[in-house]
Amino acid sequence: MFPYIYLLFLLPVLQGCLVVQTPKCECPILALSSSNIAQNVGNHVFYQNVSGYPTASPVVKSEDCSVSMYCEGDYSLVVFDEETATVLGAYSADGICDPRNQKWQVDTGSGAGFTSFDRLFGICVNYVPTCACTYHVINNDAEAKELLSSHVEWPMLSTYKYSTPTLNSETECPTSFECQEGHEKIIVNEWFSIWEGITTFECMSDTKAWTVGLYPFPNKAYLVIGCYKTETCESSIPCSYKAVENPEIDLANHHFYQTNISKYYHSPPQTILSETDKCRLEFADCVSPYALILLDDYDRVLVHLKSWGNVVGKCLAGSKWLVYNQYTFKQFNGICVDFTRLRASDP
């Protein structure tokens, strides 16, 4: 009986044992890359100091509540906290997660002991790229003007809102890039632009020339890389336009109409409005033998060539049209003219 009595005395003590649960280490950590950096730190004040350079994802090694994050090669480690960013360079971020407040305690190599971080979002940046080809990155509207104001397509390019691209590269030269959600990609060189659809490029180190898609650029031609978005009209086009049906009334004071069009047969072109962008208007090309003529409010005239397809106009801020991506019109008037048939003279 004695052993059983002894166990009965122990039972309340066993039931009174306190079980202590240690909090898990769940401090935020993320190895950034070109595919996720814009999504995670695109609005960070330090982002444009990173995205314009070749980047790579850091190496992360963790065990229990400790972590080590570092870069390989000539890349510098940059760590994004919630409000600040720290450039560690070749130094690794060695830290311990404090499970009590879920903050990182990191040795940044400054000699000041541990620094507290709310999160460790790291990216490797090559701040001294040795690319043989010349390229520039557009971070904002001011830089776009500085880099592109002399470009043949500046009338169109000047209407866009620019943001910083994220370069993607495994070598000294970028080979592609990503944009924030809602922004389109743009690649520009000294003579022409290449839009969405061809967004990869390669530096030919022997000639120091870029190849974009299958198109080689002239030797040593620079490349400008950026992201942009355009303003859209919410309801209707605020700019003035007309598919001219009654030119005797609508174009009565237009010199070119009176001297070159009025004596020929004419008809209005078909207009095509975009369902997604209310600022966009197309005049469909006229059926042969009619030719599409575009007229501004005074004397400006453009004769549309058949091989060019439809004519696209973009209504810009300030109620002006951008036509052919180069010409600005106050009014966007279209008329189809058959220059092979004279109208009968009025009795």
Of the chain, the end-to-end C-alpha distance in Å amounts to: 137
For the chain, what are the domain ranges? 29-125, 135-229, 240-342
The residue among 266, 312, 319 whose CA lies nearest residue 285 is: 312
Query: Which are the contacts of 72, defined by CB distance < 8 A and separation ≥ 6?
Result: 56, 59, 124
- 5: pLDDT confidence band, cut at 50, 70 and 90? very low
Per-residue pLDDT of 86-116, as tens digits, reads 999 989 999 999 999 999 999 887 777 789 9
Which helix H or strand E contains 143, and what residues bound it? Answer: helix 141-148
Which helix H or strand E contains 48, and what residues bound it? Answer: helix 48-51
Average pLDDT estimate for 12-40: 75
pTM score = 0.52
- Collapsing DSSP to helix, strand or coil, 188 comes out as strand
pLDDT > 90: what percent of the chain? 28
Contact 53, 127 (CB under 8 A): yes
